[in-house]
Structure 1
């Protein structure tokens, strides 16, 4: 028996390729696992019976098991992409459309970075092959698939999606609309108008709602004081925090905290 362990179809296999226009793969009988790719630069193509598509920067493609296919670099281009093969049994592929070939363009920079980082973890774990490497790879791939499913069910202008991501990432900071607008390539007035039209709330109201919702979770699951939580979530003025909390929850922070902490519960030690 060979001392080398062969790959099976219940194993995640992943890599990072940069290929010229001569690169192509032809599988007349398909494979018994899924293929997912994420294009970083250049362009590639995929062909399945009755369907052909081109992929470019920010595109995620998924190829269903058992489907005859061909893919490669488009003529005149190079194609840089990350990829992984994974089995249906290990990931909730029921979240995906029931199509032989799926492509979704990721226009939101935060989402693109998140997917790129997930692929980086898959590739790293599959190379290091630590004790739980296959499970870690599947968790990262599951994150990508859930992001795709979420975006499929809730289509939004990429600039507003990016703005929401920036608000959540920088919730504790002093945020200026001018800075958000610059980050998404719009004027401040245009961003404000578009944001309100799509979400139904202003940028400021949305940020305050995020902060207050996070504060409510901290009241319920930690023993931090109201003044500590006020600053934890990004408010610099306690009176402003109190007014916003009352606006969204109908009570002041202290009353909410007493109500949530009056019943026995498992509280954190933070």
Structure 2
């Protein structure tokens, strides 16, 4: 099949164990799959590799292969064929078949939603469908690259995500621990061992970094920014800001603006 520079097709399959695809010559485009449930397999260079829920696979153009549903299983997955010209693939390991296990639930959901956007835009074929699909695909590839370079425990990665999206809300260590199936003491120990900081210090650092950006690039007052980023006490905000930047928020704002 001849693949043009703009060819991008996607699908969402739920297949029984009779499902199999054989391509002894490979294809001249990339194939990326994300398993939602059940089990599938890929065979390249005579080696069979399994993929389960949370596994994302990337198959290089020109690679002879076979894939399908494992015997006695069903395979629920989303997939996309995309052009060989995608330069973002160069940031990933140079393998004929890359299989990554995504353990973080938030990353799994983000990848799935990106696939859903590709599915919708590639079918709708609006004026900018290819650009929208490409943007979602690049998001997936960058998340894959981040997974290959980041060595943080998936549970800690999940906590970091929760802190970032719920930055303005009060935190409870026991609730965070319950989310990732750890005791509060075990989570606190593992978090500091992984990041070098406590959970509270990490949250405060996120808040102060965001506060610094708001102080420098908006016309918000220091007291407004304090509450924007989640601090309930201005004195505490000032102390934390001085801890991380060496000056108080008002001085920082005057210097930057």
Q: Provide TM-score, normalisation by structure 1.
A: 0.93
The residue correspondences of 1:246-257 to structure 2 (distance < 5 A) are 246-257=242-253
Name the residue aligned to 2:208. 212
The residue correspondences of 1:1-270 to structure 2 (distance < 5 A) are 8=4, 10-261=6-257
Contact 2:4 2:83 in 1 (8 A): no
Residues in 2 aligned to 1:145 and 1:91: alpha-carbon distance in whole angstroms: 10
Deviations 1:72-100 (A, max 9, x none): 00000000000000012134111111100
Deviations 1:154-186 (A, max 9, x none): 111110010000000100011111111011111
Unaligned runs of 5+ in 1: 1-5, 262-270
Residues in 1 aligned to 2:219 and 2:151: alpha-carbon distance in whole angstroms: 38
SS in 1 for 2:85: helix
Given the superposition, is the C-alpha separation of residues 124 and 91 from structure 1 closer, same or farther in structure 2, using an over 3 Å criterion? farther
Residues in 2 aligned to 1:22 and 1:141: alpha-carbon distance in whole angstroms: 29
Tell me the matched-pair count: 256
Residues in 2 aligned to 1:198 and 1:93: alpha-carbon distance in whole angstroms: 28
SS in 2 for 1:72: strand
Residues in 2 aligned to 1:156 and 1:80: alpha-carbon distance in whole angstroms: 28
Q: Provide TM-score, normalisation by structure 2.
A: 0.97
Residues in 1 aligned to 2:119 and 2:212: alpha-carbon distance in whole angstroms: 38
Given the superposition, is the C-alpha separation of residues 77 and 185 from structure 1 closer, same or farther in structure 2, using an over 3 Å criterion? same
Contact 1:9 1:87 in 2 (8 A): yes
SS in 2 for 1:44: strand
Q: Deviation of residue 7 (structure 1)?
A: 6.9
Unaligned runs of 5+ in 2: none
Q: CA RMSD in A?
A: 1.1
